[in-house]
A = this chain, B = another copy of it.
Amino acid sequence: MLEKLDLSKKVSKEDYNKQMDVLGERLGKAQRMARDAKRPIIIVFEGWRGARRSALINEMMQQMDARGFNVYSSVRLRGVLQEQPFFSAFWKRLPALGHIAVYHRSWYYLKNANEMADKAEDDSKYPVVSFEHINNFEKMLTDDNYLVLKFFLHLSPEQQKKNIAKNAKTLGKAWRDLNPAIDESEDYNKFLPHYEKMLEATDTVNAPWHLIADDDPRSARLEVFTKIADAIEKAVQMPVEPAADKRTAATYDVLSTIDANKELTKEEYKEKLDKYQKKLTQLQIEMFKAQIPVVIGFEGWDAAGKGGAIRRLTAALDPLGFHVHPIAAPNVVEKQFHYQWRFWTRLPQPGTIAIFDRTWYGRVMVERIEGFAKPQEWQRAYDEIKDMEAQWSEHGIAIAKFWLQIDKDEQLRRFNDRQNDPNKQWKITDEDWRNRDKWDAYEAAVNEMLVRTDTSYAPWTVVEGNNKYYVRLKVLKTVIDLFERKLAEKQQ
């Protein structure tokens, strides 16, 4: 692809200034249009070492309003990436609705740099992400109305040498040392096919690459700025996609095969609870030593006993090594981002446990049923969620997901108990009763979710829930088994 570019284009200083007068106004206006239309924008600058990324970005900033405009560099993210899954660093830097995030080198740079490092040093273990995950990440964002603009600044080998020499002279060696980067100048021809492959694999209809001839930086800037203004102006005029229900409804039936009644005496319970909790206390220490992060998600009918099960689980854990994240309707800030944002930004540190009381599966349950997500949104969420969990798992996160199943009659009994006990009344709200009226719709959604998102790396455990003692033990036992399996895998 790059060889087709005409690197000889040139623009005089006079022409450049004249055009920039107009283009500058257009950029500023485009930013305000995007803000009004609440379109989030991601602009990625990749390309050869020596390309004039910083100067270009600075010129763009002069035209923009600093409110809602952020510049991020990926060069110093490598250490961060080792701690959490590859894309979590970028989720943390995602622009909010109507904001612009500019990436001075991005996930592409990090993938390349990490691949090179892994070849060079055997002991380095920098995470490398697949092109598939990259494409899924960008697709998920553009599906959610993010505008993703990717620029590759191309240089001829001669110009690259000149630029690097000039930088070294102007800024001194120190600046270069402070900006460690892939240095392709030593073997330009070896890197060219590498970049070609990257561009080919990730040039998609929703997030295409813009290849820019950067031998003449004035020509490059005019081209980049024009493309940005064009893209934003077009995007804000695009009609909103109509709500479309494109799929045949799934008619899975998992729940009706479950008998929620399980026998367990209080004596059996007490004895095993004590045994399991002691075991778990030990295992938490080993998981910490092995630096394995853990994500445990709880879903289930209202009053199915999620809170109690979580309490019996955490009673055995050192509070320094776990965090419970209760998930309710997204708050004002969370609504400014993609629905996955609040989960990516709550991932556990190495060796610690993140427990979610309700999870990202709200997308295909409550958001589906209440219409907070359009049909095409919740329908594609199954794939999006699977990709997310796959990335977590590939990073080494141990994942457990529980569905707590109770009968409709059992729920009614518990609702009435809560209503009649002054100490428990705060637990029951009108919303619980409203949700109960939609039992059948939820049942269909849960069935589809349990089938579609049950994977080898993040399987669902359905817990028979009418007997609370049984629930607690099954949760504990499942977590214990998961920890033991992960520790055994790590030792191999």
Contacts and interface: CB of A to CB of B under 8 A. Distances in A.
A319 B61 contact: yes
A359 to B, nearest CB: 14
B62 A311 contact: yes
Contacts of A71: 319-320, 323
Contact of A314 (B58, B317, B423): B58
Nearest to A60: B319
A54 to B, nearest CB: 5
B104 A323 contact: no
A289 B178 contact: yes
A62 B307 CA distance: 10
Copies in the complex: 2
Given A318-B54, A332-B333, A326 B66 contact: yes
Interface stretch (A128-136, A169-177, A261-269): A169-177
Contacts of A328: 67
A357 B66 contact: yes
A285 interface: yes
Given A32-B426, A178-B289, A289-B174, A62 B320 contact: no
A47 to B, nearest CB: 15
A324 B66 contact: yes
A324, A331, A332: residue with the most chain B Cβ atoms closer than 10 Å: A324
Nearest to A178: B288
Interface string A43-60: 000000000001001100
Closest 5 CB pairs of A and B: A66-B324, A67-B326, A332-B332, A73-B320, A71-B319
8 contacts: A67-B328, A69-B324, A70-B323, A102-B319, A175-B285, A331-B332, A332-B333, A333-B333
